A and B are shown apart, each in its own frame.
Chain A
Amino acid sequence: MGQFIQFAINGLMSGAIYALIAVGIVSVYKATKVVNFAHGYLIMFGAYFYFTFAVIIPGQDWAPAWLASWKPDWMVEMREGLSMFSLLGAVLDWAANVPRIICGLIGAVVCNAILGRVVERTLMRPLMGQSVFAMIMVTVGLISILSGSASLIWTADAAFVPHIAPNTPIRFELFGSMIFLFGADIVNMIIALIIFGSIVAMVKFTKGGVAIRATAEDQSTAYSMGISVPKIFSRAWVLASATGAVAGAILATRNGISPSLGLFGFSVLAIVLMGGLDSYVGCFIAAMAVGVLEAMTQWKMGGEWAEIVPYVAVLVVIIFRPHGLMGQKEVERI
């Protein structure tokens, strides 16, 4: 039982990250009816922006020393003699990085939001009123533009970034089994859940959210009711890019920085289809289910199966519910 819980928690932690990635795809779809195939690459840009503001800029000669490593005397004294994997040692190591982590996160969110806005204004808005298929094809083309640009700007060099939270090991006994968890993964999961919950609440309870839902329902009617549909489009892209930046930063802390980060978006597309393209809650359930299924399959059947079984589940769901777990039936499939 203890082991089951261990792998279930591992799966939930992965699932939360999937959910954070999925929220961007759903947001753009809800507002514009466009399936954004390039979302993974927007996330990759977010990861590179985090790398820029948390590693490259603090490492410059002109940057203040405290930005790269904040180590007041009292911290140096406390740190002495502690192992890097002890609870206090890990917290102090993280604390020294806090200024650049904050700089990285703010920089990533702002820059990615600007990128999202630029993409929407220059590539998507001119196509408003045209076939949705054309807009989807533009997102496919955007993949090449974004991956090529990232290689030009940052090169393809592999790099590593600081964890957003202290990566302290957490151990406790449950049902006779020792449970091991990574502190940073738990915080990542909490961040992902908070962002996800905030967006869902925003869409449900705020004026802007109502406008998004109205636009999703019927663009012409939304227009006639005084809603600025182009603004909604723009907001959706900015929202997707900003949340994508946080997702990118988290992914970069788990896997390092490389152009292959962009590929994550494709696996999450399957999860979004399972949940329902226009349903935040459906996608959340699907993301958690796939995360747990992956972990359980890895545990019981091994890695060869772990890459197949969850997506077989996605297929089964789509066969029986073509609109996804909680998607609207009239949603047009692609």
Chain B
Amino acid sequence: MTLNRRTFLATGAAATAVVGTPMILKAQPAEYVLGASLPLTGPFATAGQLVAPAFALAQKMFNDEGGIAGTPIRFVTEDSGYVPQSTLANYQRVLATEGKACVGYFADSTGAMKLIAPELKGENARLMGSTSFASELANPQTNPYQYISGPTYQDQFDILMQNIKAAGGSKIAIIYSNTEFGRDPLEHGRATAERLGLEIVLEEATKPQGADIPTHVTKLAQSGAEHCILQGYVTGVWPQLIGGARQFGLPIQFHGTFWGMEKLIADRITKEAGPFLAGYQGVMPYRYFYDRENAPRYEQYAALSKAMFAGTPLENYMSTWALQAMCGLELAMKALRDTAEAGKELTADNVAESLSGISDWDSGGFFGGPVSMNNNKIGTGRVYEYAPDTGLFTPVSDWLST
């Protein structure tokens, strides 16, 4: 090529443009990818299949809002069968296929989060939310890229125990599934109970499914507990325990944590077995979907659900499990957008820094007011009570923080 004045100027202009373009624009892919593993099969398939549609809703909503700094996003969701090794494999696959375009991941269990944590290094690190409220994960020193989209199980125990104490309770039983999920807040719960002057009269482990209800209820009856906290269950065991205790005539007040607080399950039990869940209480980090007053984000979800899921049960109600996933995605998107707006590349370190800097965030209705990320979690929630006649969980406490 002959170098004349025109070609020199053109080449010079092009070189200047390339050199002068911010790094972020050079590295920016046509679309960003957020991967996810969900238990669409296996023991928690009920929850996985209710959560899956939330990702389609989120993709449309976030893209309608301009994605991340104008770049659209795409979710890649895969089944894990609730097997942590499968989630790890899914994560590695999305990294291999999408490379740097993958800017975040949603895992489906505490086990998966722990298994993947050591992999989150250098080029393989991504921001990672999950279905887990495991206390161990809420530690930016050991798990800088992983976060909890609400209070940990320990926080939830604290909230419940504060509420029990405020209600004048003194003797409590803790019944939990013999899983990592069930055992998570036990030690912390003992310390909180001691601090609050509550006596733990029974700690009872059960099978996570197919528990021997008569035996557990017999022990509960013998314990003399006034309150019983149930931890580590999703769809089964907790309703049977409450039903069994009511049949025994035990006047114990039952309390659950997040995964045992789904209205759909409580409604189905009431329909099939009667209104014995009356008075069942539990801690919920978020408002229920039907509580949409002053919750503009929930209103947006409702409008989209009506359009996207017309003719299905999802048209009018979003499960608490789906809300938890949505909250996790909202937090991830906020961190990603904040990072992009600051002109930084969407590396795991930059995004994690933005995430931990989230302060006084107006979630649009998830929580009672503005919240902040503290130790990669949001330690707030309130206690709700179920009424079988209305089929609603309604708040019985203020928003409590830990």
Chain A residues packing against B (C-beta within 8 Å): 3, 6-7, 10-11, 13-14, 55, 84-85, 93, 147-148, 151, 155-162, 167, 169, 180-182, 185, 251, 254-256, 258-261, 263-264, 294-295, 298-299, 302-304, 306-307
Contacts and interface: CB of A to CB of B under 8 A. Distances in A.
Contacts, number: 124
B39 to A, nearest CB: 9
B364 interface: no
A253 to B, nearest CB: 10
A169 B213 CA distance: 13
Contacts of B216: 298
B92 interface: no
A254 B265 contact: no
A182 B178 contact: no
Contacts of B244: 182
Contacts of B269: 160
B16 to A, nearest CB: 58
A227 B130 CA distance: 59
A185 B214 contact: yes
Contacts of A13: 214
Contacts of B268: 158-160
A317 B268 CA distance: 43
B203 A302 contact: yes
Contacts of B43: 258-260, 263
A155 B268 CA distance: 15
B41 A158 contact: no
Nearest to B40: A156
A302 B246 CA distance: 22
Interface stretch (B58-66, B147-155, B270-278, B353-361): B270-278
Interface of B: 40-43, 45-46, 48-49, 178, 203-207, 209-219, 221-222, 234-237, 239-240, 244, 246-249, 265, 268-269, 271-276
A-B complex: 7 closest residue pairs judged by Cβ atoms: A303-B205, A156-B45, A158-B235, A160-B272, A260-B43, A169-B247, A158-B46
Contact of B235 (A11, A85, A258, A304): A258
Contacts of B42: 259-260
Contacts of B49: 155-157
Contacts of B237: 255
A255 B235 CA distance: 9
B178 A180 contact: no
A251 B236 CA distance: 12
B217 A180 contact: yes
B272 A161 contact: yes
Contacts of A298: 212, 215-216, 219
A299 B40 CA distance: 36
Given A157-B49, A158-B46, A259-B42, A181 B235 contact: no
A161 B53 CA distance: 27
B221 A160 contact: no
B247 A167 contact: yes
Given A259-B42, A294-B215, A302-B204, 19 more contacts: A13-B214, A55-B272, A84-B274, A156-B48, A157-B49, A158-B265, A160-B268, A160-B273, A181-B214, A182-B247, A185-B214, A255-B237, A258-B43, A259-B41, A261-B210, A299-B218, A303-B207, A304-B178, A306-B212
A244 B369 CA distance: 53
Contacts of B276: 84-85
Contacts of B272: 55, 159-162
A304 B246 CA distance: 25
A85 B217 CA distance: 15
28 contacts: A10-B212, A10-B215, A11-B215, A85-B246, A156-B41, A156-B45, A157-B49, A180-B217, A181-B214, A182-B213, A254-B240, A255-B209, A255-B210, A255-B236, A255-B240, A256-B240, A258-B46, A258-B209, A258-B236, A260-B43, A260-B210, A261-B210, A298-B219, A299-B215, A302-B203, A302-B204, A303-B204, A306-B205
